């Protein structure tokens, strides 16, 4: 801590933000193509979908309901993208990382908990019933997915005996953690999908509550929230690379290219999954999270701890 | 120099947002003003090079405030933004007590004869802190933890008005249990 704010730091933040934006944009295009395919439409319009959406939302009038708490509302909506950027700040691109934090895993976890507050504030601030229902739904889902997600993050940290993301990536020289921690990886991916309000975890923004947290958002506010969701999905995929997928290790290409490639592949898989899974009802997911996922991931942690202790 | 600036920014932010808790007229704003205050304290801990303790403080406080906002709104039954409320009750006594506490603690911090450092900090301060807090007391912690969990479970059981006879019937044989809320794993 306390290092000087140099152009180098600002430059690296810009590069990380550009990479995150590129991944998120690719996810928007892929989701559009998959959506068009499943409905039998031409997938041509989906290719320009990010540009079209940005142009449309930037030109749209920015409305706010009566007596909305605009301050909290906009903090919530604008914060999602910031949280995603702060997540990727600890992801090493090969040798290079923005913030070489010795507790990077805890930092990522802190940012995904910040999403609790941000989504709830987005729901609350609008002063509208559907929006508020969406905010509460998110917290209900969060209580179900967060503890399994936390214990899923514990497994690679125990495996590498470190909370430093770079050391965790380096500890997977011979065997990727995803191979011998499959349960933790699956639960982690579920957590990423959940904190991005994506796929089975879309009920907070569901069409049955008129768009939930999204219902009152328009113009640039809506753009920030939607972009933030995609950015969170991309950041979650990127963080999985050093945690489970061997970081920058791979033949021929340099380390940073492998990190980007692996993130893109996992992100594509998460985008594809959206249409394959049913939506998770907030009132039912609690029991699934605590009765099925939590014991499963705790057993995974136990297995990892036993292996680590046995290897010495 | 940068650490000094960072400390002052965080210190002013922590105190100012703590004051805001009692100034704003909305439950959500009060809760999240408190969250900002705690987050500033967490980052002040990071400035003390207690990275783990600092970041975990931020994590816990954000989670706690997100849940606390829900409970506060639930018990107060307040409509978002439409009904202004006050976080202050018994203003005079509260002001006197908190002012006195602030003066005592502040004076203590400024006037006490702080000892000079002997030796050097451990290379891994987090591990050293954990050792100091938990090392000798591990046995006590291991014994107390199940007792605390049992207390929580017992409290919930005593407070819940439905018993297992309501769920499983008089002979405790009804399957699945009759619950007002269906669970997610088909029990």
Contacts of A120 in chain B (CB under 8 A): 66, 69-70
- From residue A204, how far is each of A56, A127, A212, A279 by CA, in Å? 24, 16, 5, 11
Q: Where do the H-state alpha helices sit in chain B?
A: 2-23, 27-47, 51-76, 91-111, 125-134, 138-159, 164-168
Q: Is the pLDDT of residue A90 over 80?
A: yes
Instruction: State the virtual CA torsion across B38, B39, B40, B46 in degrees, nearest 10.
Output: 120
A247 exposure class (CB count in 10 Å sphere: 0-12, 13-18, 19+): buried
Are A193 and A200 in contact, with CB atoms under 8 Å apart?
yes
pLDDT value at position B84?
Answer: 66
A294 exposure class (CB count in 10 Å sphere: 0-12, 13-18, 19+): middle
Contacts of A3 in chain B (CB under 8 A): 2
| Contact residues of A toward B, CB < 8 A | 1-5, 67-69, 71-72, 101-103, 106-107, 109-110, 113-114, 116-117, 120-121, 124-125, 127, 132, 136, 139, 142-143, 146, 163, 281, 283-288, 291-292
Mean of pLDDT values over A139-148: 94
CA B182 – CA B187 distance, rounded (Å): 8
CA A239 – CA A257 distance, rounded (Å): 15
pLDDT value at position B177?
Answer: 83
Mean of pLDDT values over A234-247: 95
**SS3 for A127?**
coil
- From residue B122, how far is each of A109, B56, B118, B125 by CA, in Å? 26, 20, 12, 5
Tell me which residues of chain B have a pLDDT lower than 50.
80-81
CA A264 – CA A14 distance, rounded (Å): 19
Contacts of B177 in chain A (CB under 8 A): none
Q: What is the pTM of this model?
A: 0.90
DSSP B80: T
pLDDT value at position B162?
Answer: 86
Mean of pLDDT values over A162-181: 92
Contacts of B182 in chain A (CB under 8 A): 283-284
Reported confidence tier of residue A155, pLDDT bands at 50, 70, 90:
very high
Mean of pLDDT values over A127-137: 93
* Residue A101, token pair as written in the block: 């934090």
B153 lies within 8 A of chain A by CB:
no
Mean of pLDDT values over A45-49: 90
Q: Is the pLDDT of residue A4 over 90?
A: no
Residue numbers of B between 101 and 140 with CB closer than 8 Å to A: none
Out of B32, B47, B187, the one facing A72 most closely (by C-beta) is B32
Of the two residues B76 and A241, the one the predictor is more confident about is A241
State the CB neighbour count (10 A cutoff) for residue A57: 19
In chain A, where are the structural domains located?
A: 7-311
Contacts of B2 in chain A (CB under 8 A): 2-5
A279 exposure class (CB count in 10 Å sphere: 0-12, 13-18, 19+): middle
Work out whether the CA dihedral A277, A280, A284, A288 comes out positive or negative. positive
pLDDT value at position B91?
Answer: 82
pLDDT value at position A43?
Answer: 86
Of the two residues A59 and B78, the one the predictor is more confident about is A59
Chains A, B: CB contacts under 8 A, how many? 96
B53 lies within 8 A of chain A by CB:
no
pLDDT value at position B77?
Answer: 63
B69 lies within 8 A of chain A by CB:
yes
Give the residue on B whose Cα is nearest the Cα of A132: B80
User: Which range has the worst mean pLDDT, A50-54, A73-77, A93-97, B87-91?
Assistant: B87-91
Q: Tokens 């730091």, residue?
A: A9
User: Which range has the worst mean pLDDT, A96-100, A148-152, B9-13?
Assistant: A96-100
Contacts of B32 in chain A (CB under 8 A): 72, 117, 121
């Amino acid at each position: 801590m306390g290092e000087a704010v140099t152009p180098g730091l600002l430059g690296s933040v810009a590069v990380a933000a550009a990479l995150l934006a590129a991944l998120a944009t690719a996810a928007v295009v892929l989701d559009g193509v998959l959506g068009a395919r499943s409905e039998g439409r031409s997938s041509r319009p989906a290719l320009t979908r990010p540009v079209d959406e940005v142009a449309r939302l930037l030109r749209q009038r920015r409305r706010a309901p009566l007596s909305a708490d605009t301050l909290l509302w906009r903090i919530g909506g604008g914060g999602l993208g910031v949280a995603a950027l702060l997540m990727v700040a600890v992801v090493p691109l090969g040798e290079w990382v923005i913030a070489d934090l010795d507790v990077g895993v805890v930092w990522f976890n802190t940012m995904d908990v910040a999403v609790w507050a941000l989504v709830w504030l987005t729901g609350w601030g609008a002063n509208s019933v559907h929006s508020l229902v969406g905010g509460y739904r998110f917290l209900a889902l969060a209580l179900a997915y967060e503890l399994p997600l936390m214990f899923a993050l514990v497994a690679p940290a125990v495996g590498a005996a470190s909370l430093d993301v770079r050391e965790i990536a380096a500890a997977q020289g011979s065997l990727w953690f995803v191979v011998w921690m499959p349960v933790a990886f699956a639960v982690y991916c579920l957590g990423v999908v959940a904190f991005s309000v994506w796929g089975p975890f879309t009920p907070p923004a569901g069409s049955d509550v008129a768009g939930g947290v999204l219902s009152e958002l328009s113009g640039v506010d809506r753009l920030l929230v939607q972009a933030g969701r995609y950015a969170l999905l991309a950041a979650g995929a990127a963080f999985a690379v050093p945690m489970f997928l061997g970081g920058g290790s791979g033949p021929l290409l340099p380390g940073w290219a492998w990190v980007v490639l692996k993130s893109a592949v996992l992100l594509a898989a998460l985008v594809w999954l959206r249409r394959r899974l049913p939506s998770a009802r907030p009132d039912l997911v609690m029991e699934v999270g605590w009765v099925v996922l939590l014991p499963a991931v705790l057993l995974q942690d136990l297995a990892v701890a036993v292996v680590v202790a046995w290897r010495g | 120099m940068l650490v000094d600036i960072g400390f002052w920014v965080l210190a002013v932010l922590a105190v100012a947002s703590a004051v805001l808790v009692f100034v704003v007229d909305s439950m959500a704003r009060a809760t999240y003003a408190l969250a900002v205050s705690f987050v500033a304290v967490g980052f002040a801990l990071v400035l003390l090079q207690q990275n783990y303790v600092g970041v975990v403080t931020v994590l816990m406080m954000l989670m706690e405030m997100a849940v606390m906002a829900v409970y506060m709104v639930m018990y107060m039954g307040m409509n978002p933004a439409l009904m202004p409320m006050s976080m202050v009750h018994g203003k005079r006594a509260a002001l006197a007590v908190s002012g006195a506490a602030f003066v005592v603690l502040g004076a203590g911090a400024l006037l006490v004869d702080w000892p000079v450092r002997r030796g050097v900090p451990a290379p891994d301060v987090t591990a050293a802190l954990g050792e100091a807090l938990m090392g000798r007391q591990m046995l006590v912690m291991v014994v107390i933890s199940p007792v605390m969990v049992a207390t929580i479970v017992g409290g919930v059981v005593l407070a819940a008005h439905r018993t297992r006879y309501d769920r499983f019937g008089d002979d405790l044989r009804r399957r699945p249990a009759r619950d007002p809320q269906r669970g997610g794993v088909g029990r």
